[in-house]
Amino acid sequence: MTYLFDPPPQAALPIYGSDSTFPVHRIYCVGRNYAAHAREMGHDPDREPPFFFQKNPDNLITDGTFPYPMASEDVHWELEMVAALKSGGTNIPAEEALDHVYGYTVGLDMTRRDLQGTAKQMGRPWEVGKAFENSAPCTPISSAAQVGHLDSGAIWLEVNGERRQDSDLDKMIWSIPEQIAYLSGLFELRAGDLIFTGTPEGVSACRRGDVMVGHVDGLPELVVKVI
Ligand code: MN
């Protein structure tokens, strides 16, 4: 059998210190996982179970740019630590969840907030706000074998040299093991899945020409220019 047309290239992230790349299967993103961010978006963080949405694997971009997208005039940054899975399964206990994590990357969950806001108001899906081209700038992956598993430490974003997001990984409402346990009760997780683990407070709109520097203690920084 042959394909009718060439299949798209396999989405993948580079890995620091390796000639291999990390083939990406799915991208899951948790919503409102830092209390102060949930509050700035108008929600009560204390009463909500976690919820997830997805981006498309081919939304990843790793060349240090973020091409400003079409159809929006209010594109927000959301700096997040991202967990990369080397294996998966269903109903994974939280105590075993980190066994499935290959490593971590620093990522931006870029969001067309105006389109997401309309979708929320009308009870529509979020894809137009979240899952658009180039909406997931990321660094290469650092393996947990090299950097360990990260559950505390600074996470911050500077835009044009000014600190705009500033928090600590230990402020996540749902820890990474809890996110994996919960997600694996809804979906069969697989090797190659990425999980965006939520953004702290301080989200706001970027403009063309902005330089965003994202930092997570223990990981190389993400530097992205809006073009
Ligand atoms: Mn997010």
pLDDT, one tens digit per residue, over 52-79 is 999 999 999 999 999 999 999 999 999 9
Give the number of other CB atoms < 10 A from CB of residue 152: 12
pLDDT tier for residue 46 given thresholds of 50, 70 and 90: confident
Average of per-residue pLDDT across 87-92: 98
Query: How many A from CA of 26 to the centre of ligand 1?
Result: 15
Instruction: Indicate if the pLDDT at residue 198 is higher than 80.
Output: yes
Q: Spell out the domains of the chain, with CATH numbers in brackets.
A: 12-226 (3.90.850.10)
- d(CA 42, ligand 1 centre) in Å: 15
Can you tell me the mean pLDDT for 13-40? 95
Q: Tell me if residue 59 falls in helix, strand or coil.
A: helix
Taking the C-alpha atoms of residue 194 and residue 220, their distance in angstroms, rounded to an integer, is 18
Residue 49 predicted with pLDDT over 90: no
Task: Give residue 35's pLDDT band: very low, low, confident or very high (50, 70, 90).
Answer: very high
pLDDT digits (tens, 9 = 90+) for 136-155: 999 999 999 999 999 999 99
- Measured distance CA(175)–CA(181) in Å, rounded: 10
Does 94 score more than 80 pLDDT? yes
- Rounded to the nearest angstrom, the distance between the alpha carbon of 2 and the centre of ligand 1 is 39
Q: Which two tokens stand for residue 46?
A: 């204390």
pTM: 0.98
Q: Is the pLDDT of residue 17 over 80?
A: yes
29 CA to middle of ligand 1, Å? 6
Q: How many angstroms separate the alpha carbon of residue 33 from the centre of ligand 1?
A: 8
Residues in the chain, how many?
227
Distance 200 CA to ligand 1 centre (A): 9
For residues 68 and 75, the answer to whether their CB atoms sit within 8 Å is yes
CA of 37 relative to ligand 1 center, distance in Å: 10
The answer to whether the beta carbons of residues 174 and 158 sit under 8 Å apart is: no
Q: Among 146, 164, 165, 163, which residue's Cα sits nearest to residue 220?
A: 146
* Location of structure tokens 């981006």: 55
CA of 59 to the centre of ligand 1 (A): 14
Reported as type and span, the H/E element at residue 113 is: helix 113-122
